[in-house]
Amino acid sequence: MNLKELATRLGLSPTTVSRALNGYPEVNEATRERVVAAAKRHNYHPNTRAIRLATGRAMAVGHVIPIATRHEIVNPVFADFIAGAGETYSRNDYDMVLSVVPDDDEEKTYRGLKSKGNVDGVIVHAPRMKDPRIPLLREIGLPFVVHGRATGTAEPYCWLDVNNRRAFQRATEFLLDLGHVRIGLVNGLEFMDFAIRRRTGYVDALSARGIAPDPALMASGEMTEIAGFRSAQAMLALPDPATAILASSMISGMGVRRAVESAGLVVGRDVSIIIHDDDLSYMKNGEDVPIFTATRSSVREAGRLAAEMLLGVIAHPDSGPQQRLLEAELIIGQSTGPALKN
Amino acid sequence: MNLKELATRLGLSPTTVSRALNGYPEVNEATRERVVAAAKRHNYHPNTRAIRLATGRAMAVGHVIPIATRHEIVNPVFADFIAGAGETYSRNDYDMVLSVVPDDDEEKTYRGLKSKGNVDGVIVHAPRMKDPRIPLLREIGLPFVVHGRATGTAEPYCWLDVNNRRAFQRATEFLLDLGHVRIGLVNGLEFMDFAIRRRTGYVDALSARGIAPDPALMASGEMTEIAGFRSAQAMLALPDPATAILASSMISGMGVRRAVESAGLVVGRDVSIIIHDDDLSYMKNGEDVPIFTATRSSVREAGRLAAEMLLGVIAHPDSGPQQRLLEAELIIGQSTGPALKN
DNA sequence: TCAGCCATCCAAAGCGGTTTGAAGCGATTC
DNA sequence: GAATCGCTTCAAACCGCTTTGGATGGCTGA
């Protein structure tokens, strides 16, 4: 059943039927009701491909996922962000198209997306310092929103980010207030923008109390369990070991916890742990009482909001670059406690 | 730059240019080269929306992700599967479109995808027993491939699955051979088809050795760290406690490990653990030496293969239902050892 | 009464490709 | 020399919708 058939059946022109269904004013209310009823009765759904060609809009948003040789973006955090963004798209009748491409094809992919007209805009994931995708997208004129920020980019652009610096600053201050001095940081890879900001927050908090950051207490790597384990193990084995550790994710936090426990120490008593909790739906930080004390910010919610921002930018291309900074909450769990006097 | 402009510039008709670029035989080789060169020079890319309307194909594959109220499908395993499938689509110039919808809209979504012509086929995720999506998709005539199988579905359909029964049977036999008798199963939710099959394999292996399955040693729940922890904790607290535990994923296995360690026991000596390892890219089971003994099967590779199968079905709709069963390998890690005599 | 004005509807021209049917033309065949 | 054939190329229809630019006719107001 297509528009023409439906129109014939109703004894109307395709024009009128189209207008009736799309809510245009120049159609008699009685006619509209008749059309709407017939459309429902015959289970008519306009063909998306035709709409797209006729309107010149793709009604779709792209997410480009590089199959990285050096760093995996396909991680649990990404999945939850996508889920959140997808909710927004569904509600707005947009499609979400994911392009999984070898990372040296990334630029070609963005250019293709634009020139072939597959999408109306894209979300940029996991920005790095001076991320080249930002000038690229501006150059080719494809609307975009960055999830995170890219330090070192001069021109303004649309982004939505968590205040990572402030979150880690607060977490560090919290540990300092508990009397901890030897505080370790198990960070993500420090070419990622968020990791840089987190370290800044951590260092700032220490410096404000006159504590010089100790390189031995600052690790950086993939946010995996095993990496968390190893980094924490090293920090606990120091002559002057860490008594508290900040971990960059739930998963690396689990590695840190394993290191603490396998050193015969008790989490929350001998060693405090604070993680960053993305509030992943399948990886809750406890149910009622959080297991870990954490800086929490829902990445799924971030996905929803970033998608909304992008749809806004697509609808109003010259409304100027929008920006939004979300604050993480500091939630107190069972993994932190006062530093032991000795 | 569109086809007509390019044709005008070349002094040719759009027909010839289109054919030249699409490799049709009825065009002079010299002309074709001229056209191809001009297309590259002017950076011409045919408009996807126009191609889709003209050919009647969507050149896209759908993945419907229900925002489940009762069960989360958006999990790490799903993310890796998607990444694998996406690789295949990119190589074949197909788009991957994800629909994130409330779970009571799932049927409506599939029907819409078909009648609006957004996709040429779909992948069905996380099948349950007698999964209603299979008859639905058959009814509306939308090509599909199921990742997994749905026990209780009479008619044949396309699927790609891991031999879950055999994998868990072998794992159980391996533990039995090591002298374990009290073997626990920390399973996924048992309305999921894969979980049923795993339990069957486990029970079969025990029965073959004359061991009656003990309900106290069989848990079922979400595959989270905390659920794994709790189930294992209960099994270790029994009067006749488990000396070995099968866990359904890396994450629940981490919970099991924590339960073992926090009971003051040593993994691989006091208690053996075998997990199912989906070989997730960001959650490796060790680097050279696996941490866990595991039944391993790459879910990413499964994604690639399922996507290939679907593209095949789309290209040859009446080639009959294809089916493929992948075997998991049993890899020996550091989490298993002989049962202690006492 | 008649021009002017809404309210309502329609024909036709896109959107940018693919594909069908036919035509031009030099070479071959009879 | 005419008919035939193959190789190239093209004009036009088509995919299914949106949207522009009328057309129609009843109603209002002078």
Residue of chain A whose Cα is closest to the Cα of B43: A115
Q: A148, A129 in Cβ contact below 8 A?
A: no
Q: Based on the fold, state whether residues B312 and B186 are members of the same structural domain.
A: no
Tell me if B342 is assigned to some domain. Answer: no
Query: Which residues does B183 contact at the CB level (< 8 Å), separation at least 6?
Result: B172, B175, B176, B202, B206, B217, B242, B243, B244, B245, B246
Q: Based on the fold, state whether residues B40 and B116 are members of the same structural domain.
A: no
Tell me if B78 is assigned to some domain. Answer: yes
Pairing of strands B95-102, A95-102: antiparallel
Tell me if A335 is assigned to some domain. Answer: no
pLDDT reading at B225 higher than 90: no
Q: Which of A45, A72, A76 sits opposite B116 (nearest CB)?
A: A45
**Measured CA A43 to C1' C17 distance, in angstroms:** 28
> What percentage of residues in chain B have a pLDDT greater than 90?
87
- Cα angle, residue A83 at apex, residues A103 and A310 outer, rounded to 5°: 75
* pLDDT at res. B147: 97
Tell me if B177 is assigned to some domain. Answer: yes
> What percentage of residues in chain B have a pLDDT greater than 70?
98
Q: Is A225 on the interface with B (CB under 8 A)?
A: yes
Residues of B with Cβ-Cβ distance to A284 under 8 angstroms? 224, 226
CA dist B174 and B323 (Å) reads 28
Tell me if A290 is assigned to some domain. Answer: yes
- CATH number (domain holding residue B30): 1.10.260.40
Q: Based on the fold, state whether residues B34 and B80 are members of the same structural domain.
A: no
Q: Based on the fold, state whether residues A264 and A274 are members of the same structural domain.
A: yes
CB atoms within 10 A of CB A5: 12
* pLDDT at res. A77: 86
The two structure tokens encoding residue B17: 């240019």
Tell me if B200 is assigned to some domain. Answer: yes
Report CA torsion sign: B28, B29, B35, B36.
positive
DSSP B43: T
CB atoms within 10 A of CB B317: 11
Rounded to 10 degrees, what is the CA torsion of B100, B105, B109, B115? -160
* pLDDT at res. A69: 65
Q: Is A15 on the interface with B (CB under 8 A)?
A: no
Q: Based on the fold, state whether residues B176 and B196 are members of the same structural domain.
A: yes
What nucleotides of chain D have any atom within 7 angstroms of a protein Cβ?
Answer: 7-12, 14-21
Asked if A282's CB is within 8 angstroms of B74's CB, the reply is yes
Query: Which residues does B108 contact at the CB level (< 8 Å), separation at least 6?
Result: none
How many CB pairs below 8 Å do chains A and B form together? 156
Rg (chain A; Cα; Å): 25
Q: Based on the fold, state whether residues A187 and A290 are members of the same structural domain.
A: yes
Residues of B with Cβ-Cβ distance to A283 under 8 angstroms? 224-225, 251
Q: A162, A147 in Cβ contact below 8 A?
A: no
- How many residues appear in chain B? 342
- CATH number (domain holding residue B211): 3.40.50.2300
| Residue B147, Cβ density class (10 Å: 0-12 exposed, 13-18 middle, ≥19 buried) | buried
Distances (CA, A) of A90 to A93, A130, B112: 5, 32, 12
Secondary structure (3-state) at A284 = coil
* pLDDT at res. B329: 97
CA dist B192 and B273 (Å) reads 22
DSSP A103: G
Residues of A with Cβ-Cβ distance to B72 under 8 angstroms? 281-282
Asked if A90's CB is within 8 angstroms of B100's CB, the reply is yes
Q: Based on the fold, state whether residues B123 and B200 are members of the same structural domain.
A: no
The two structure tokens encoding residue A34: 């008749």
Q: Based on the fold, state whether residues B79 and B120 are members of the same structural domain.
A: yes
Residue of chain B whose Cα is closest to the Cα of A58: B49
Q: Please provide residue A160's backbone torsions phi and psi, each rounded to the nearest 5 degrees.
A: -135, 125
Closest alpha carbon to B211 in B162, B244, B236: B244
Q: Please provide residue B288's backbone torsions phi and psi, each rounded to the nearest 5 degrees.
A: -95, -60
Disruptive mutation site among A2, A40, A42, A49 for chain B (greatest number of B CBs within 10 Å)? A49
Q: Please give, rounded to a whole number of angstroms, the shortest distance from the CA of A259 to a CA of chain B.
A: 11
Distances (CA, A) of A23 to A4, A27, B44, B159: 18, 8, 37, 43
Secondary structure (3-state) at A157 = coil
Q: Which residue is nearest to nucleotide C8 (CA to C1')?
A: A27
Taking the C1' atom of every nucleotide in all shown strands and the CA of B117, the nearest one is D16
The two structure tokens encoding residue B305: 């293969």
Does any strand C atom come closer than 7 Å to the Cβ of B319? Answer: no
Q: Based on the fold, state whether residues A275 and A264 are members of the same structural domain.
A: yes
Q: Is A78 on the interface with B (CB under 8 A)?
A: yes
Residue A64, domain extent = 60-162+301-326
- Across B105-124, average pLDDT: 96
Residues of A with Cβ-Cβ distance to B96 under 8 angstroms? 97-100
Rounded to 10 degrees, what is the CA torsion of B59, B61, B67, B68? 160
Closest alpha carbon to A92 in A258, A309, A292: A309
Taking the C1' atom of every nucleotide in all shown strands and the CA of B29, the nearest one is D8
Query: Which residues does B83 contact at the CB level (< 8 Å), separation at least 6?
Result: A65, A67, A74, A100, B281, B300, B303
| Residue B102, Cβ density class (10 Å: 0-12 exposed, 13-18 middle, ≥19 buried) | middle
Domain count, chain B: 3
* pLDDT at res. A341: 79
Pairing of strands A218-220, A183-187: parallel
Residues of A with Cβ-Cβ distance to B226 under 8 angstroms? 284, 286-287, 291
Q: Please give, rounded to a whole number of angstroms, the shortest distance from the CA of B255 to a CA of chain A.
A: 10
3-state SS of chain B: helix, strand, coil percent to 5?
Answer: 45, 20, 40
- Across B175-184, average pLDDT: 98
* 120-149 of A, contacting B, C-beta below 8 A: none
Q: Is B72 on the interface with A (CB under 8 A)?
A: yes
CA dist A336 and B284 (Å) reads 28
* pLDDT at res. A224: 86
Asked if B115's CB is within 8 angstroms of A282's CB, the reply is no
CA dist A264 and B114 (Å) reads 58
**Measured CA B22 to C1' D8 distance, in angstroms:** 16
Q: Is B75 on the interface with A (CB under 8 A)?
A: yes
pLDDT reading at B282 higher than 90: no
- Across B77-81, average pLDDT: 90
Disruptive mutation site among B1, B43, B57, B98 for chain A (greatest number of A CBs within 10 Å)? B98
CA dist A61 and A124 (Å) reads 11
Q: Which of the residues in chain A have pLDDT under 50?
A: none
Query: Confidence class of residue B73 from pLDDT cuts 50, 70 and 90?
Result: low
* pLDDT at res. B58: 97
The two structure tokens encoding residue A245: 């550790």
Tell me if B54 is assigned to some domain. Answer: no
Residues of A with Cβ-Cβ distance to B110 under 8 angstroms? none
The full DSSP string for A165-219 is HHHHHHHHHHHHHTT--SEEEEE--TTBHHHHHHHHHHHHHHHHTTPPP-GGGEE
Q: Where are the alpha helices (H) located in chain B, listed in sequence order?
A: 3-10, 14-21, 29-41, 48-55, 76-91, 106-115, 133-140, 164-177, 193-208, 225-236, 250-262, 299-315
Secondary structure (3-state) at B310 = helix
Residue of chain B whose Cα is closest to the Cα of A47: B116
pLDDT reading at B70 higher than 70: no
Q: Is A192 on the interface with B (CB under 8 A)?
A: no
* pLDDT at res. B203: 98
Q: Please give, rounded to a whole number of angstroms, the shortest distance from the CA of A294 to a CA of chain B.
A: 17
Q: Which is more confident, A238 or B72?
A: A238
Q: Based on the fold, state whether residues B201 and B290 are members of the same structural domain.
A: yes
User: Lowest-pLDDT range, A145-149, B4-8, B83-87, B285-289?
Assistant: B285-289
Q: Based on the fold, state whether residues B142 and B266 are members of the same structural domain.
A: no
Residues of B with Cβ-Cβ distance to A289 under 8 angstroms? none
* pLDDT at res. B341: 79
Taking the C1' atom of every nucleotide in all shown strands and the CA of A53, the nearest one is C15
- Across B168-185, average pLDDT: 98
- Across B95-121, average pLDDT: 95
Disruptive mutation site among A43, A73, A94, A100 for chain B (greatest number of B CBs within 10 Å)? A100
| Residue B186 β-bridge partners | B219, B247
Tell me if A341 is assigned to some domain. Answer: no
Q: Based on the fold, state whether residues B95 and B133 are members of the same structural domain.
A: yes
Residues of A with Cβ-Cβ distance to B85 under 8 angstroms? 100
Distances (CA, A) of A4 to A7, A41, A47, B49: 5, 16, 12, 20
* pLDDT at res. A29: 93
Closest alpha carbon to B326 in B147, B161, B201: B161
* pLDDT at res. B87: 95
Q: B95, B60 in Cβ contact below 8 A?
A: yes
